[in-house]
Amino acid sequence: MTFDFPQNDLKMAAYVTAKGVEIGKAMGAKQVAGAPRTAPYTTTVYQTTHNTGGTVMGNDPRTSVVNRYLQSWDVPNVFVIGASAYPQNAPWNPSGTLGALTYWAIDALKNRYLKNPGRLVSV
């Protein structure tokens, strides 16, 4: 996956960071530090970043890669379990939602797909 921050994201990060520092100083903080994100993106700095997307889940094979059971629209015996199914990156750790989606997909795989292999969602 290739990713980097667009200029607008970098400008927003600089603005919000500066405002945060300004607020901290106005509140009388003894020490205020602010370091906005910079390019290029690197996982060595942002170890807590939760990258998502890439095999987006949806209701239409023309606009998504997997269906609601994380089953590939194109290849019915391929299930893609992971945060790659998210169409966006939520503002919190995606693990809880991923656990629920995994349970949902495994339940469908075990109780529906294995009994009758093929698409679990008709188009």
Q: Catalytic positions, please? A: 50
Q: Tokens 């949806």 label which residue?
A: 58
- Asked if residue 81 lies in contact with residue 70, where contact means CB atoms within 8 angstroms, the answer is yes
Q: Give me 90's structure tokens.
A: 């939520």
Distance, CA of 54 to CA of 47 (rounded, Å): 19
Distance, CA of 112 to CA of 73 (rounded, Å): 16
Max CA distance (Å), the chain: 66
